[in-house]
Structure 1
């Protein structure tokens, strides 16, 4: 019988490695004692973390005692089993001082009462974690060798199970803490990237203002010249045409500056990396930062020379906004390192797998082994981006700290976040970064980024012609900006359409209830109702009405997410006459509107006369 019980205990032990919390594990131990060993009463005592007492953690008794047992109570049979690392028998009829310690090999039956408690130490890897108190089974027991060894086997399994449960709970706790720390680091990293981006924008702000002042000066000068010539009565058609061309070019230049600025400052969103050309990223950064390294520098008597040696390289997988932030901060650091002016050289190279490598040697980048492990592990090799300046270099005393957050050598001018942010972004792109520098000999920064491999093939559908908006379509314009309305109405009339204007959302919706329109153009930012609200309300009443949202924030709106907004097309300010015509055609094609029947073409031609 005891042999069978041993086998059943062995079978039960196979479940010890199951990931269970401590309470579930204790319940299993109790069921095993009841179902396999037929024990009447079982109590589990575990030592507290400080090792001061034993606490009852599980018991089959109806009213188990919960009072801790101090480990200083050396006469207590439970404490004696804990301290002696050996089984201790005790019968309630005998004084606790008469509790008997049992010692192996248990070769002869022990002449003890058939009822009583056997206290067995719970030992894991030589360390006692508690005590298992077992009362005699139904009918009593004979404490011979097999019985005691069976109880020790059960105690050993219970100890191992409890330890596994503790480790499981500890692992879960550590995993939860680690997850919290990872999330906190991700948030801090995002804030770091954003703060550095804003710092970069602050440094460029005066340069952007300089560019806008140049554009405004050109526009103002051309307008005043044209007014003066009109007053003198000597304006030729060719002069007017050339002046209008210059004004248009100036306006488009201003729009391009705004577009680049917005694209540069667009927050990096959580999105999958996409294939991109690193040379285009460099080109965008140089265009956007030109006021800093050219206009401002020349105004202060410094001259920077930017040399680009960008060979044709394969695309990489990355986030354009983050990579622009990397190049911008490295460029600004290089400029700061050359207070008297100097040269910044930017190179791009494709290094094939197993091919040329680079390492540090005497502070310079030369042929060698740096990055070889990375190149061997990346199919297609890597792109090496290198930026070298002729500045003051980095002192040996601070080289080890340049990637530390908040470490700066620029005093109050620096935040100490630039290179830390750069390092984090490069790592996120599965890249490597190396800084090699010598005092008074400049600095070279090399970034290794893996080539984009297995790029998904995008099947381009054949271009389809946009449907034409019917001539002299009746269009409702909702906008509270008089100057913007005047330009839009003139554009619509030039395209051959009739425009009806409402200065706000509520007025425009009332017009929709009492009039028929072919299209709706609404501005986004209005005081009473936003353009989104107007579009939703209009689509609710007239589901087939094409709706165009006109906004200066169009480049921040994802066209693929317009479903359900009521907006068919977003028209971004500033827009040209051609942009407006294309936007109307797209909205018309996206809608199922039926042309108005019986429209008076003669009245239309009269109304839309230009």
Structure 2
């Protein structure tokens, strides 16, 4: 096809198009393609194998839809140049399409990529909408300014503050507000206003101002932060004002109330000191008489116990004396002798039962095997806490709450009488609650330690002094005045001893007390041969050489005769010295067994037991005592068995014949 008149040659036209930063093409007025640059070949439909002049613009501009052809036709019709914003094919690219008359025969069409610009415009619009929504949600007045101080954007609350004269600049805002610096109690100058300080690059936080807004004087907290560009140049300011008028009023009221409370506390302190002085003076006057009353009360309690014991003992002695008289009178009648002997035995057993009740009172008599049962200490302790809950709730209040901390180990088992152990735990819990009149923490632990199953009850109360702690387990000893009987911890101690365990106290005055019960673990408790019925079938007697040490003449003689009646060879003495002399001189005919009382004129029977163990260890040792078993048991001194008076002959015979056998108590 020949060149159009006045059209530039193709090479020069192509070079001109390559210099453009857009996809560009020259079209003849006839609608055929004349020239196209490289970017245009990529964006438009250009057949590189066919002559350009054979390709119409309706085909070349297909990726632009109808927009390209329409734009060229309008230019051919003489309309003013315009720009179309259209998508390019399916690539998602947006282009700015423009067509102009290049010369009389040629039309120039350019397509410039506007995708990034459109995204920026869309993003800016979204950010603007989000910022507007955020500002409207803020419960504060928000203003955004430019670097010249012109207010560009506000939220709804800021628009309501000055309805008659909305400020357009930060100066006008300062004039409308007439701000007063609350902290420094002076009017705030324009240059010291938060907006101007932020324009100078300073971040302002919580500046307390009094301003004129919403038709009244208000107190606000003002915040201001500079807006910076990528070069860290200040381009504007964000202002945020939060109303704190009500808070300021409440703070002033709180300060006034605190001042009144401080005055009231001072008055209460003075009054309390006066009362404490009066109480101390009255207390000094009452201490002497109170101590006398406590002493009298203890003596009365001991007297009541002694009177009861005396009554029961006299009741037991009366038939013994009568039977002894009749025994002499009917000495020739075997049936009468046997009858009166049986009556004397029964009366003696009643007396022994009386002694046992006294033993149970102080709870130091060991529990009989077979009369006990397996116990799970954690469950038993939980039962006690449930039983004492009403008492704790009654003692507790909002200012004196008693909090329970349970630290139970699983399967902490022992054997014993559940009623007695429950009574001991109940006493300990009640004592712990009483020790915390101002409230505190009651910690209850169960655990195993060695061969012991343990329960520990700790309070955070007043604690004990060393003197009180030493006497805490004594019967009738109390620090609670008329409110206490002095038997609680004594019963706890006795119950522990009856169950072959221990009770111990650790305490710090002012910080609390912990009482720990240690009982034999269940697998360590076994039935005892000594608990067998005293009237069991007699054993075969093997004669032995026995040394009896008893200071009571009748008791020594009766014991000697009982042993001789069984065929034993018996020597009987009344003192430790005589016993040691006998033991030292018995090399030719050594003793098989030593039977000793505890209370001897020249020493303790336990000392004699230790002497035997160290000097003649082959001699077996048994102890016979009328005292209640105390902390040091026979086993700890080396005695094979311990028997309590009154003595049962069958029980003694069983121990002599059966070897090392633990003792039982008389019930």
TM class by shorter chain equals 0.3 to 0.5
Q: TM-score, normalised by structure 2?
A: 0.32
Specify the structure having the higher radius of gyration (Cα): 2
More strand by share: 2
Q: TM-score, normalised by structure 1?
A: 0.34
